[in-house]
Structure 1
Amino acid sequence: MSWYFTTGYDEAAESKVNAGGKARQDICAILSDMGMSELRVKVPLGRGSRGGLGKIQGHWEAYERWVSAVGGLRQGDILVVQFPATAHTLLFPRVMNQLAALGVKVVLLIHDLDSLRPVVSTDGSLFSKIRVDREEDYAVAHADVVIAHNPKMANLITQKYCRKPGTVVSLGIFDYLIPHFCKDLESSNDGAVVIAGNLSPRKAGYLSALPQGVHFNLYGLGFEGNDSDDISYYGAFPPEVLPRVMTGGYGLVWDGDSPSTCSGAGAYLRINDPHKTSLYLAGGLPVITWKDAAIADFIQTEGCGIVVAGLEDIQDSLAAVSKEQYDQMSANVAHVGARLRDGFYTRQAMTNVAARLGTDLPSDKNV
């Protein structure tokens, strides 16, 4: 019995595809460190620019690459698939069936459930929606174990797909590896609120209506506004660099058009764990998030941030935090951040997966 994990590779350059970026890369690094072997699945080039029959051909090509990649697996092997797969294909159910026929156990580690993401479900083409529904529904329903972001997503998956109790494991939060981390500037309760990530109006429309009386430091691509008395824009940085350079007292996790609630694209926060939460905590910043976000439970349980109903509540909420409370919050953030930078939560989830499958991990370092 051997453990494997999948990675997507560019067909020509043989370099890792930057799909999902750091979250996927960190998972690969952690699983590799645990003694699992990499299973490469080459991604056909130019699929996005193809039309009609070309798109169908791209799905067949991706399927053939999956067949080639998994053909060497044996009965009892365990394959961790980061999902949605980089080499996605309408024929992924066939891949799942082939793995089952080989006697391979499949562990599906969820990055996104595209059928539940408002932007994907409303803006995609009919063919794309059919592909997402077919691929996602079959994979989530038939995997031996599913790793969901959090208990709320785990419950949704269990109910929607009628999965057996114990076959859905909660990750808790995505890890955020930062080798040799150090930060010169400490956060403080009177510091600015950091907003990092996709700053485009489509993703973060609320930026046009940020509350006054709070200073916001922005980092990322797509910002179309201007600096002001309450907003400073610092540009974009690589994910490994950003935690070291972002300055402020808190990091904001918010999505959608409205500053009063997370609506539109922001509604997805009810079930997912935004990767920027991990960015902030790994970088030493307490988190401010929507009270109805799934990640709010983690933030409150670990005492590493505050939750608000709307952005208009931030000023009063921050004013109510004493120096002693902020110092304790920062200590909690330091504890969680150290775990994130070491891959603790992925290792813990994989330990739970192994227990569900009744087997041992190649290594259980740091669990």
Structure 2
Amino acid sequence: MTNWITRLNGAANKEKTASGFIANHDAAESAKEIGFSHINYFRYNGKEESNDALNARLDGILAAVRPGDTIVYQYPMWQIDLKFEMRFLAKLRRKPGAKIIALVWDILSWLHDDRDRDYTGDWSLKALNEFDLVICANPKMAQRLKTQGGVKKPILSWDLSDSRYDGPLRAKSFQKKLYFVGRLDKSDFSQYKAQTKMALIGGMGPKSEPLSDAVLNQENLIFHGELPNDEIPYMFDGGFGVINYATENLDNAFFKGNGTYGQYNNPLKLSQYLAGGIPVIVASNSAHADFVREKNIGLVLDDLNKIDDILDKMTVADYQKMLDAVKPFQEAVSTGFFTKRALMEALRITQLGLADNLVD
């Protein structure tokens, strides 16, 4: 019996900068280190592909998977059209005795839509009931999947995502500075009025409007542009990493649900800041607010414009305590600890029937 995990392959530039590719690869490499094999696939444009051609392609991708194997399906597969994913899952379901586990990165319906409607018929949620086990971001997301998403299958909490990194790190000191890593078109920086400078690392989406001149000329913002993922942790020499920023007034048709969704997901930037060894700033309604507060690995702050007063009152000793608290988590997320733990627990549940750690 073989344990498998899906791995998305693609263009070299996306594997360095696209968060979906990076997260997928990190999980696949962590799984490989505990004995999993990879099911490799590419991002196909299959809109014009015939059903016979698609079936032949999928049969080739899944040729090595045997009855009774366990397959961790990184969800979603980031395909251009849904047909590929639907048939991929259907073919796995027809493998006799196979155990199929969803390792959920995102629920696309909730990310792209924030209307008050029934989402349970959307494939991104309905399909989760085709798996034997669902690994989701955290307990808060698990409860939303159960109550609003119609997910009836057992759910295991990932708790925290990883951000694998084995490069050098700089020494950290108490500095009045902030970092924000991510797509700049998913946040509204025009509302940031504090004097504490914030370094922005990231680019714009392909269909996004350019940032306004007013934002580009803000003296409290420093633009670094898009950088390879494995170069970012070395930039951090102090300060704090900002997880999310105001999106209420953001006119972004593609990420209409982003403001609400940020209360439930595991932001990849959270793990990247921890991998770089700096404390973080999260909103009080985020899934990780209690964790950040209890572990003293950062600040819980809803209005980022209050950061000047907070940093004015903070001492070097206060900041050093946070750095010390961050260190064990830096080592954990950098080496894939949380993914490995979740996958081993998933095997414990699906193969041994020991389900005591499932989300109630």
- Correspondence 1:1-367 to 2 at 5 A: 1-9=1-9, 20-45=20-45, 55=47, 57=49, 62=54, 64-87=56-79, 89-90=82-83, 92-102=85-95, 103-117=97-111, 120-121=112-113, 134-159=122-147, 160-164=149-153, 167-179=154-166, 181-188=167-174, 190-200=175-185, 203-205=186-188, 207-222=189-204, 224=211, 225-258=215-248, 265-359=258-352
Structure 1 residue 9, shift from structure 2 partner: 3.6
> Which shows bigger deviation, 137-146 or 251-260?
251-260
Deviations, residues 147-204 of structure 1 (Å, cap 9, x unaligned)? 101111112223333425xx2111111111112x32234141x33011121113xx11
Deviations, residues 218-246 of structure 1 (Å, cap 9, x unaligned)? 22213733354422223332110011024
Gapped runs of 5+ residues in structure 2? 205-209, 251-255, 354-360
Q: How far, CA to CA, are the matches of 2:328 and 2:19 in structure 1?
A: 29
Instruction: Letter of the 2:24 partner, please give it.
Output: R
Q: How far, CA to CA, are the matches of 1:326 and 1:59 in structure 2?
A: 58
Pair 63,296 (structure 1): closer, same or farther in 2 beyond 3 Å = farther
Structure 1 residue 256, shift from structure 2 partner: 4.2
Instruction: Letter of the 1:293 partner, please give it.
Output: S
2:262 alignment partner, SS class: helix
Q: How far, CA to CA, are the matches of 2:122 and 2:52 in structure 1?
A: 15
Pair 326,264 (structure 1): closer, same or farther in 2 beyond 3 Å = same
Instruction: Letter of the 1:108 partner, please give it.
Output: A
1:358 alignment partner, SS class: helix
Instruction: Letter of the 2:98 partner, please give it.
Output: V
Q: How far, CA to CA, are the matches of 1:229 and 1:96 in structure 2?
A: 50
Structure 1 residue 250, shift from structure 2 partner: 0.3
CA contact (8 A) 2:110 2:257 kept: no
Deviations, residues 251-303 of structure 1 (Å, cap 9, x unaligned)? 1111443599xx96222111101101111111111001111011323322332
Q: How far, CA to CA, are the matches of 2:317 and 2:249 in structure 1?
A: 29
Pair 343,19 (structure 1): closer, same or farther in 2 beyond 3 Å = closer
> Which shows bigger deviation, 79-88 or 107-116?
79-88
Gapped runs of 5+ residues in structure 1? 48-54, 124-129, 361-367
Q: How far, CA to CA, are the matches of 1:218 and 1:230 in structure 2?
A: 10
Aligned-residue Cα RMSD (Å) equals 3.2
Instruction: Letter of the 2:191 partner, please give it.
Output: A
Q: How far, CA to CA, are the matches of 2:48 and 2:121 in structure 1?
A: 16
Instruction: Letter of the 1:214 partner, please give it.
Output: T
1:194 alignment partner, SS class: strand
1:41 alignment partner, SS class: strand
Pair 38,285 (structure 1): closer, same or farther in 2 beyond 3 Å = same
Structure 1 residue 7, shift from structure 2 partner: 1.9
Pair 22,16 (structure 1): closer, same or farther in 2 beyond 3 Å = closer
Pair 300,56 (structure 1): closer, same or farther in 2 beyond 3 Å = farther
Residue-pair matches, total = 333
Q: How far, CA to CA, are the matches of 2:249 and 2:87 in structure 1?
A: 44
Deviations, residues 82-107 of structure 1 (Å, cap 9, x unaligned)? 11113453364444343233221111
Pair 58,122 (structure 1): closer, same or farther in 2 beyond 3 Å = farther
Q: Which residue of 1 aligns with 2:357?
A: none
Identity over aligned pairs, percent? 24
Deviations, residues 105-151 of structure 1 (Å, cap 9, x unaligned)? 1111111100111xx2379xxxxxx9x96532343112111110111
Q: How far, CA to CA, are the matches of 2:125 and 2:67 in structure 1?
A: 24
Instruction: Letter of the 1:148 partner, please give it.
Output: C
Q: How far, CA to CA, are the matches of 2:348 and 2:297 in structure 1?
A: 29
Structure 1 residue 33, shift from structure 2 partner: 1.4
